[in-house]
Structure 1
Amino acid sequence: MGRLDVANKSGDAAALEGQPAWLQSYVESPEKQRALYKRTLIIVVLSQIFGGAGLAAGITVGALLAKDMLGTDSVAGLPTALFTLGSAGAALIVGRLSQRFGRRAGLATGFLAGGIGAIGVILSAVTSNIYMLFASLLIYGAGSATNLQARYAGTDLANAKQRATAVSIAMVSTTFGAVAGPNLVETMGEFARSIGVPALSGPFILAAAAYIIAGLVLLFFLRPDPFVVARAIAVAERKAIESNPGIQAETITTDRRRIAVAALVMVLTQLVMVAIMTMTPVHMGHHGHGLSAVGMIIGFHIGAMYLPSLLTGVLVDKIGRNTMAVASGVTLLASGVFAAFAPGESMLLLTIALILLGLGWNFGLISGTALLVDATNPANRARMQGTVDVMVALSGASGGMLSGLVVAHSSYAILSLAGGILSLVLIPFVIWSSRTK
């Protein structure tokens, strides 16, 4: 029996004692739940459009800004490491806030913090204060973590056959801002110069505005909170089961093995993607490519990360989470091979490599997210999602930090090939999980 039916059949007997009447009305009405599910997706889409634009700034020019301020390639991966490390701490905080107070409080707080961090990056570039830059990048990472965690909001009221699609709707909406952001690098650089600040801080002006708007959209419009309603429905289901043990409900189960596999899929795909992506702008700079070329390739990459999401979500729901997780590993391997053997002067081959890199990440994130939602319940879901996203962010921080060191002591080709091979590690674990289910 579906969870909407369970909640409806539970009626007044399973209503939440002491809860407001509006919340009980959602628990008892599948129609209101469906309407709130659709409304939530619309609000998440709006916030993600702005969140994507905020995310793009650090990816595109973060490494170049650090190289410019410090004068060495060996620390070019440090900005990505810092804002992904900051996103790890933010993921934990956003997850805990969401678990306790709902998605609205957690997500709005994260985006607003990301906007404050972007403002700090601008000030550090103006004052040439490297310590302020590092601290601001940590705070800026909160926007990245929140941008990812927003994908969970759409799944709170989705059934098992809608979850990957709900994730994909949230992610594809990120495309509009995320693709526009890198292609506005040059424009924002000129704007920054016109107001007397360094050109490379220009994209962070866009990021500050975008993250703050995303936070305000969620703060004012994500009402009623979908996670609060989903948690109330789960409590109603438990009460219904206590009074009628024959009822089966999907929202009160937890599967730790699937949680571990979901985490592994997302951690490895994030590690490989961040490592190769971080050093691509630096690699291109060494071969004479300008900011506009870097922005274009990163734009294609981010487009591949998010734009195929609707199709990916349908595939994950239709042909299975495990199949698409394996497809992620294979696609990332192909990306690593292309990046390793592509001549540095070839825009075409580098673009193909970065598109495959984004696509492999997309497959891994959506399949891993769906696995994680399937394996948890509202009593622990937001907290567990935050914990897994901490591991994802830490893997990204490691990839960003190590990428600069690997390239400085070997080459971009070695980094790319190693990343592609590493992505294959997830395949035997996914196969093992499917065989021991």
Structure 2
Amino acid sequence: MTETPGAPDATAAVPPRPIPVPAGPELTALRRRIQAVLIASQILGGLGIAIGVALAAVLAKDVSGTEALSGLASTATVAGPALLAMPLAALMASRGRRSGLVFAYLMGALGAGVVVLGAVLDSFPLLLVGLVGFGAGSSANLAARFAAADLAEADRRGRAISTVVWATTIGAVLGPNVAAPAGESVSGFGIPATAGPFVWAAGVFLVAAVMVALLLRPDPLLTARALAGPEDGEAAAGRSLKAGMRAVRASTRARLALVTVAASHTAMVSIMSMTPVALSHHGAGIQLIGLVISVHIAGMYAFSPVMGWLSDRLGRLTVIGLAVGLLAVAALLAGTAGASHGQTALGLFVLGLGWSAGLVSGSALLTDSVPQAARAAVQGLSDATMNTAAGIGGLVAGLIVAQAGYGWLNVVGACLLLPMAALAVRGAVRPGALKA
């Protein structure tokens, strides 16, 4: 076949559609709209997770026939985001936040559906597989905090992250309260009442996926890259997961941020997961245990905007130091509470505050510390690290309490803060040691 000189090659790749580059008032309006969509999706995502988690252990006990295996429900839901974090990071690095968030919500919806199927078929292995997928839905809520930082000004990044984290409070509070109606709603369909919340969770995740797909436009991560200027081949190659790992190794600040997020999350999960057991050993009933956990959740989310504001005004290092102090005080209060339920509740509230300070300041510092091209990969590495560490911490926590007691668990939890404290002190005493 003879080609006409100068004619376009029909087999040539179609160039990607250029991302619009907003500026001035247009960029300000876009930031507000993106944040509003992320807040709404956080509320839905938090609601979906909280509806299912409320009765996950009970459903696992009913299907397995033994309380000994009911704890695997929590392990499975924690494993979900740990397993999905790196593939999700790779997807976001190549396709943007919207594709990643939609995928994570769809995984959560699919997992919830498999949970319901496992309950109907009375299959415990199928139930656990579904819970892993269901837990993966929370990856969207974790990733959304970084999506909020994509277009935020550097001096407002902490507040942007914390506002989206705070939105989870609404869903987390509403979720357990609608678990009972959700169970009643499926009574005529041959579905166990304890699986009803997962039917609703699947629907909530689907709504969140559709909303993000339709409204999170233009994509915040791709827009941030466009604002940073055109990329050459080397910059595009820097979006790979290997490049993200290299970026962390090259930056002391990024390593501090990674340690901060992982240590704060692991200490919180380890202590919190065994607090109901400790309370029950001292005569607390289900209602009191639920109240203590609610107080803890309030500490985690309700004050995150304060942590974001402090992180922006006083600096990331200062709030990381605050996180170390709060988590250490929480371990002291909870570990020495004994039969004092009020002191345990106070300890869990402070534990939530410390987690919030560590997550917000660590996430902001991580975003500050790596090049634009590597951010999505590094952020995925952070989420994979924190969830894997927390999953291991949750398993080890049970062994520590069984062999040595709840007090020693809090001692171990406080020891997890030592690397985080050492790096933060090093950066405060020798600012040059924390190279970007």
Fold similarity call, TM over 0.5: yes
2: CA distance, partners of 1:69 / 1:341? 37
1: CA distance, partners of 2:51 / 2:192? 14
What is aligned with 2:203?
209
What is the CA distance between 1:185 and its match in structure 2? 4.5
Residues 43-52 or 210-219, more deviating: 210-219
What is aligned with 2:160?
166
Equivalent runs, 1:259-278 vs 2, <5 Å: 259-278=254-273
Residues 68-77 or 160-169, more deviating: 68-77
1: CA distance, partners of 2:274 / 2:408? 12
Name the CA shift for 1:348/1:197 in 2 (closer, same or farther; >3 Å).
farther
What is aligned with 2:144?
150
What is aligned with 1:388?
382
C-alpha contact (below 8 Å) 1:156/1:230 kept by paired residues: yes
What is the CA distance between 1:30 and its match in structure 2? 3.3
2: CA distance, partners of 1:341 / 1:64? 30
What is the CA distance between 1:224 and its match in structure 2? 0.8
What is the CA distance between 1:129 and its match in structure 2? 1.8
What is the CA distance between 1:97 and its match in structure 2? 1.1
Choose the corresponding residue for 2:325, options 330, 337, 354: 330
2: CA distance, partners of 1:294 / 1:183? 15
What is aligned with 2:121?
127
Residues 45-54 or 350-359, more deviating: 350-359
Name the CA shift for 1:292/1:209 in 2 (closer, same or farther; >3 Å).
farther
What is aligned with 2:360?
366
Choose the corresponding residue for 1:256, options 247, 251, 255: 251
The code of the aligned residue for 1:331 comes to L
C-alpha contact (below 8 Å) 1:333/1:424 kept by paired residues: no
C-alpha contact (below 8 Å) 2:21/2:226 kept by paired residues: no
2: CA distance, partners of 1:176 / 1:398? 28
What is the Cα-based RMSD across aligned positions, in Å? 2.8
Name the CA shift for 1:123/1:340 in 2 (closer, same or farther; >3 Å).
farther
What is aligned with 2:372?
378
What is aligned with 1:404?
398
Q: Deviations over 1:289-342 (max 9, x none)?
A: 555444433222222211111111000000111111121122112222222233
2: CA distance, partners of 1:182 / 1:411? 29
2: CA distance, partners of 1:53 / 1:264? 29
What is the CA distance between 1:77 and its match in structure 2? 4.4
Counterpart secondary structure, 1:408: helix
What is the CA distance between 1:351 and its match in structure 2? 2.3
C-alpha contact (below 8 Å) 2:51/2:178 kept by paired residues: no
2: CA distance, partners of 1:20 / 1:288? 63
Q: Deviations over 1:359-399 (max 9, x none)?
A: 11100100000011001232111111111111111012112
C-alpha contact (below 8 Å) 2:282/2:338 kept by paired residues: no
Residues 43-52 or 351-360, more deviating: 351-360
Number of aligned residue pairs:
404
The code of the aligned residue for 2:202 comes to A
2: CA distance, partners of 1:286 / 1:187? 31
Choose the corresponding residue for 1:40, options 34, 39, 52: 34
The code of the aligned residue for 2:164 comes to A
Normalised TM-score (structure 1): 0.83
What is aligned with 1:9?
none
C-alpha contact (below 8 Å) 1:73/1:408 kept by paired residues: no
What is the CA distance between 1:163 and its match in structure 2? 0.5
1: CA distance, partners of 2:271 / 2:294? 15
What is the CA distance between 1:266 and its match in structure 2? 0.5
Name the CA shift for 1:185/1:326 in 2 (closer, same or farther; >3 Å).
farther
C-alpha contact (below 8 Å) 1:265/1:365 kept by paired residues: yes
1: CA distance, partners of 2:66 / 2:397? 14
Equivalent runs, 1:22-421 vs 2, <5 Å: 23-26=19-22, 29-57=23-51, 59-67=53-61, 69-70=63-64, 77-188=71-182, 197-236=191-230, 256-285=251-280, 289-343=284-338, 346-421=340-415
The code of the aligned residue for 1:154 comes to A
The code of the aligned residue for 1:303 comes to A
The code of the aligned residue for 2:159 comes to T
Name the CA shift for 1:122/1:342 in 2 (closer, same or farther; >3 Å).
farther
What is the CA distance between 1:46 and its match in structure 2? 0.4
What is the CA distance between 1:268 and its match in structure 2? 0.6
Name the CA shift for 1:382/1:24 in 2 (closer, same or farther; >3 Å).
same
Name the CA shift for 1:134/1:287 in 2 (closer, same or farther; >3 Å).
farther
C-alpha contact (below 8 Å) 2:104/2:140 kept by paired residues: yes
1: CA distance, partners of 2:154 / 2:393? 32
2: CA distance, partners of 1:95 / 1:52? 20
The code of the aligned residue for 1:262 comes to A
Name the CA shift for 1:203/1:420 in 2 (closer, same or farther; >3 Å).
farther
Question: Unaligned regions of 5+ residues in structure 2, if any?
Answer: 1-13, 234-246
What is aligned with 1:250?
none
The code of the aligned residue for 2:426 comes to W
Name the CA shift for 1:398/1:63 in 2 (closer, same or farther; >3 Å).
farther
